[in-house]
Amino acid sequence: MAKVLSRVLKLTWKYRPWPYVFSALALFFLLFAGMLSATASNLKEDAIAKYGGDEVTALMRLVDDSSETFRRRNYAIGMLANLSDARALPVLEPLWTGSDDAGCGTGRNLCQYELKKAIKRSRENKGPNLLARLTH
């Protein structure tokens, strides 16, 4: 039994893909985080330039602007969820229909799941989460 276990361990250590797997995952995470940060920064800067005010106020106005695409509005809703600021509630609450399955990923209407999440986090009013801090 000890010989079998010894042989299995030797084979496992002989073919060690784990460092490569972990390196690939780390690289993917860094690239994804960089793209996410760039997208968030661009949207936030665009909103502040177009609507004025601080990031929460500008994103609230972007969400409320029906001339904006649903994709940009949904992304702004997600950013408001990450910022967790109670000032966003007057804009977010009227948009939520009560169903959290409609519109996510279609780009044809507001994502009710993201709205529900943003409302919940805004009511908690805990301040920006880690993702918001990374993309700030």
pLDDT band, very low/low/confident/very high, at 9 (cuts 50, 70, 90):
low
Residue percentage of the chain with pLDDT more than 70: 59
Query: Residue 121: inside a domain, yes or no?
Result: yes
Please give the pLDDT value at position 94. Answer: 93
pLDDT band, very low/low/confident/very high, at 125 (cuts 50, 70, 90):
confident
Mean pLDDT throughout 51-55? 92
Higher pLDDT, 36 or 82: 82
Backbone torsion region of residue 53, taken as left when φ is above 0, otherwise alpha when ψ lies between -120 and 50, otherwise beta: left
Query: Residue 8: inside a domain, yes or no?
Result: no
pLDDT at 119 over 90: yes
Yes or no: say if 111 and 104 are a contact pair by the CB < 8 Å rule. yes
State the residue range of the domain holding 81.
37-134
Yes or no: say if 72 and 62 are a contact pair by the CB < 8 Å rule. yes
Query: Cα–chain-centroid distance for residue 58?
Result: 18
pLDDT at 92 over 90: yes
Structural domain tally of the chain?
1
Global pTM value: 0.66
The average confidence (pLDDT) of the chain is 78
